Amino acid sequence: MPALPFMADLFAHDSQSTEGFLPAGVSYRPGLVDAATQTVLARAVADIAARAPFRHPRTPGRGAFSAAITNCGTVGWWSDQRGYRYVPAQPESALPWPEIPQAFRDTVARVMAGTPWPRFAPDACLINFYGPGAKMGLHQDRDERDFAQPIVTVSLGDTADFMVGGGVRSDKTQAFQFRSGDVLIMGGEGRMLFHGVRRVHEGTSPITGLQGRYSLTFRKAL
Ligand code: MN
């Protein structure tokens, strides 16, 4: 695990500092992606969705996700009754997932400069869409091969109430408002913390043409 002395520096210039609020290894960076870039990223998501449509995957139990899901990258995260995993092709069409767009890679490179993972090179981007009433229960991201690699989330559109807990599901959670253009990095000792989306505030998206919320979560899956 890398040491994380950089966290205090990251928070020092943020307008909504969460220093001392979120656990170590969880870096919340409000407003890091500017409005013009948010629009570019949202359009790139629409292009991806035209080639890899959003679906509501089945959970391994009886339900389905209330968020709709698609992916880009070498592999995509998926769920069905066989469980959670990364798959090399779209389950319904057998087509490959679209490539990660250059605009996504540029944003990741900018976000990760100055962190312990400046050359973080995601091979998968899970894109969740939260429409009215969608949420995501507390979970860990644990389907990747190397937990030394961080998970990087960029939020677009509606504001979400995002929860971060501890290393076990029953640990107390803290919530904060995750807005369009904000970035969350979970790495090092924060990598395996439980997290989820309690609710999304409909109608708060600042992006023209986007109603609802996209979360882009960048992973090194393989
Ligand atoms: Mn997650």
Domain boundaries, the chain: 16-219
3 Cβ neighbours under 8 A, 6+ residues apart: 116, 188
Q: What is the pLDDT, as a whole number, of residue 18?
A: 54
pLDDT per residue rounded down to tens, the chain (222 residues): 444 444 444 443 444 555 568 999 999 999 999 999 999 999 999 999 999 999 999 999 889 999 999 999 999 999 999 999 999 999 999 999 999 999 999 999 999 999 999 999 999 999 999 999 999 999 999 999 999 999 999 999 999 999 999 999 999 999 999 999 999 999 999 999 999 999 999 999 999 999 999 999 999 999
Centre of ligand 1 to C-alpha 139, Å, is 6
Centre of ligand 1 to C-alpha 200, Å, is 16
Centre of ligand 1 to C-alpha 128, Å, is 10
Centre of ligand 1 to C-alpha 113, Å, is 22
**Which of 14, 190, 218, 222 has the alpha carbon at shortest distance from 107?**
218
Centre of ligand 1 to C-alpha 43, Å, is 23
User: What are the distances in angstroms from CA 29 to CA 98, 163, 168, 177, 220?
Assistant: 28, 15, 24, 12, 20
d(CA 219, CA 20): 26
Centre of ligand 1 to C-alpha 40, Å, is 23
Centre of ligand 1 to C-alpha 39, Å, is 23
Centre of ligand 1 to C-alpha 112, Å, is 18
Long-range contacts at 34-41 (CB < 8 A, ≥ 24 apart)? 34/181, 35/181, 35/206, 35/207, 37/103, 37/107, 37/181, 38/156, 38/180, 38/181, 38/206, 38/207, 39/207, 39/208, 40/103, 41/103, 41/104, 41/107, 41/154, 41/156, 41/214, 41/216
Centre of ligand 1 to C-alpha 197, Å, is 9
Q: Are 186 and 90 in contact (CB under 8 A)?
A: no
Q: What is the pLDDT, as a whole number, of residue 20?
A: 61
Q: What is the pLDDT, as a whole number, of residue 11?
A: 41
For the 16-219 domain, the top CATH level (class) is mainly beta
